[in-house]
Amino acid sequence: MKELFFITSNTGKVQEATEKLRPLGFSVVQKNLGYPEVQADSLEEVAIWGVSHVQERFRRAFILEDAGLFIDDLQGFPGVYSKYVFFTIGLGGILQLLEGVEKRGAVFRSVYAYSEPGKKPLLIIGECKGIISMRKQGTHGFGYDPIFIPDGAKKTFGDMSVEEKNQFSHRGKALEKLATVLKDFQ
C-alpha cells in the first residue's frame, strides 16, 4: 500500500477517499494541518493557495481538496462560499431561497490538488450534476448532502452510504482520475 497524505479536517472526505483509493493500492492518511481558505473566485485558486501554504510546513507528497455547490437558479451561489453559507444560513436557508422555484438544478464541483515537493501541483476536477431537493432527507454524509439528489438517483446523498455516494459524486469522479494520474507519478 502506498501512503497518501490528505490535508483536511473533514473526516467525511477522508472516508470517501479511503473507500475509493484503497482498492487501487493507496492508504489515505489524514493530516489535519489547517490552512487558510482565501476569498477567491474559483475553487482552483483556493486549492493552489492551500498547497503553497502547506508546502511551507510539510515536505512530503500530499493531496488537498476544495469543493462547492453551485446552484443554477442562484447564479452559482453558494459556490466558493459554500462553507461559510453552510455554517451561516445552512440548509434551511438554501431551501428558503429556493422556495417556489421549480428548476432546481445544481452542480457539485471538486478540485483536488496533488503536490510533490519541488513540483508544480497537479489539479484534478470532478463534477456531479443534480437537483436541490424540496426538503432535507437522510442522515449520512456531511454538508449539503441531505438536500442534493444527483442525476440518475432518486434519493439525496444524505440517504446514501459512502460507497453509493462515491459512484455519483464529484469527489468520487475526481478521485478516480487522481488514482490514474498517481500511478504514473509514484
CA atoms within 13 A on the CB side of 6: 23
User: Closest CB to ligand IMP among 25 and 152?
Assistant: 152
Q: Which of 31, 60, 83, 136 binds ligand IMP (CB under 6 A)?
A: 83
User: Partners of 26 in the beta sheet?
Assistant: 2
Closer to ligand IMP by Cβ: residue 18 or 169? 169
Judge contact between 130 and 156, C-beta under 8 A: no
Candidates 19-27, 53-61, 88-96, 143-151: pick the segment binding ligand IMP (CB under 6 A). Answer: 143-151
Query: Site for ligand IMP (CB under 6 A): which residue of 50, 68, 150, 172?
Result: 68
The single residue among 6, 66, 115, 179 that binds ligand IMP, judged by CB under 6 A, is 66
Question: In the set 112, 114, 144, 168, which binds ligand IMP (CB under 6 A)?
Answer: 144
Secondary structure (H, E, C), the chain: CEEEEEECCCHHHHHHHHHHHHHHCEEEEEECCCCCCCCCCCHHHHHHHHHHHHHCCCCCCEEEEEEEEEEHHHCCCEHHHHHHHHHCCHHHHHHHHCCCCCCCEEEEEEEEEEECCCCCCEEEEEEEEEEECCCCCCCCCCCCHHHEEECCCCCCHHHCCHHHHHHHCHHHHHHHHHHHHHHHHC
Q: Which one, 145 or 159, has the nearer CB to ligand IMP?
A: 145
Count of residues that interact with ligand IMP, criterion CB under 6 A: 18
State which of positions 88-117 bind ligand IMP (CB under 6 A): 108
Contact status: 166 vs ligand IMP (CB under 6 A): no
Q: 111, 123 in Cβ contact below 8 A?
A: yes
Q: Does 21 bind ligand IMP (CB under 6 A)?
A: no
Q: Does 67 bind ligand IMP (CB under 6 A)?
A: yes
- Least distance in Å: CB of 180 to ligand IMP? 21
Taking CB under 6 A as the criterion, the residue among 142, 162, 164, 181 binding ligand IMP is: 142
Q: Which residues bind ligand IMP (CB under 6 A)?
A: 10, 65-69, 82-83, 86, 108, 141-145, 157, 169, 171
